[in-house]
Amino acid sequence: MPFLAQLHARRLRARPSTAAGVRSRGQSMVELALVMPVVLLVILGGIDFGRVFLGWVDLHAMARHAADYAAANPDAWSTVDPDAGAQAEYLRQIRREAQDINCTVPSTLPAPSFPSGPDGDDGLGVPVTVRISCSFYLITPMIGAIVGNPVTVSASAAFPIRNGTITGIPTPTPSPAHTATPSPTASPSPTPSPSPTPSPSPTPTGTAGATPTASPTATAAPTPTPSPTPAMCVVPNLVGESIKLAADLWGIKGHGNDDGAQFTTTLVFSPLVGKNDSGRVTSQTLVAGGNRPCASTGMTVNWSP
């Protein structure tokens, strides 16, 4: 019996008091109240970041489709002879892409940008750039107060012109038209003698034949001037190369022990490469190893970070 009493007393001493349990639960509630705003801020900030990134991806796809269409119809934005149907289709494609984007696109959409302007003489391979911006509304109040609300998101894309003449190739001088040799003037027919009259011993009279005119000498056509043969370069394989070296390998500069391909045109990057961007080329529009004119060949490369 004394043993059972001692065991019961030990159990009572080991059991925490009710007041201690209440204090422990109260401390947990205070800690939760302090941590919960920070946790919610991190969660909402992550959701906003994901929404902005998804909106930028959709906006970039929209700019690519618009630039691709503008490159196929470069003369539609001419102020001299504009193509209203092509411009309407350009706006329709952008608005169709904007239906599923979680960013507000402005009502007035930008026209494509040409290096020489809408009335310039941009030839085959010259890049056309489309830049589109939209307004993104954040759901996190604190982040919106810091970075602003709405946040402006922009994306741009460039595609080479696919219709027109290749710039840099000399136009051959047309051969002068061949001058037809004039036909010789026909000799006049002699006048027939009049019929004799019943008078005795009539003396017939007649007109002597005219002297034929000599044919003019034919003028020889000038020899046509042969067209100069443009210099040819080999298209390099830029897939996998760094975007910081791709332009040098395409041009004359080269890198290290690798000589440049000697093309004098500008290599087009899609999307455009910024000052602090880094990444590698994933694809190119021309097949590597082919011979192309050095002064007029244009090529676009796609890259990713």
Residue 305 to residue 303: CA distance in whole angstroms: 7
SS3 71: helix
For the chain, what are the domain ranges? 27-160, 232-304
Q: Give the up-direction half-sphere exposure of residue 171: CA atoms within 13 A in the CB hemisphere.
A: 6
Given a contact cutoff of 8 angstroms between Cβ atoms, the answer to whether 240 and 251 are in contact is no
What distance in Å separates the CA atoms of residue 236 and residue 287, rounded to the nearest whole number?
8
Between CA 60 and CA 132 the distance in angstroms is 8
- Residue 250 DSSP label: H
For residue 35 the two structure tokens come to 């941590």
Degrees, nearest 5: CA angle 51-54-57: 150
Q: Is 219 helix (H, G, I), strand (E, B) or coil?
A: coil
**Which residues does residue 131 pair with via DSSP β-bridges, in sequence order?**
156
CA separation for the pair 243, 207 (Å, rounded): 95
Rounded Cα distance between 194 and 238, Å, is 97
pTM metric for this prediction? 0.44
What burial class does residue 6 get, using C-beta atoms within 10 Å of its C-beta: 0-12 exposed, 13-18 middle, 19+ buried? exposed
Digit-by-digit pLDDT tens for the chain (305 residues) are 566 676 667 766 655 555 555 667 777 888 888 888 888 878 878 887 888 888 888 888 888 988 898 888 888 888 888 888 888 989 988 888 887 777 888 888 888 888 878 776 677 788 889 998 888 888 777 776 777 778 888 888 999 887 665 555 555 565 655 555 555 554 555 555 555 555 554 444 444 444 555 555 555 566 666 667 888 899 899 999 998 888 889 888 888 788 888 988 888 888 887 777 888 999 988 888 888 899 888 888 888 88
Helix (H/G/I), strand (E/B), else coil: 18: helix
The reported pLDDT for the residue numbered 280 is 92
Q: What share of the chain is helix, strand, coil (3-state, %, to 5)?
A: 35, 15, 50
Contact 57, 100 (CB under 8 A): no
Q: Which of 94, 171, 168 is nearest to 134 (CA)?
A: 94
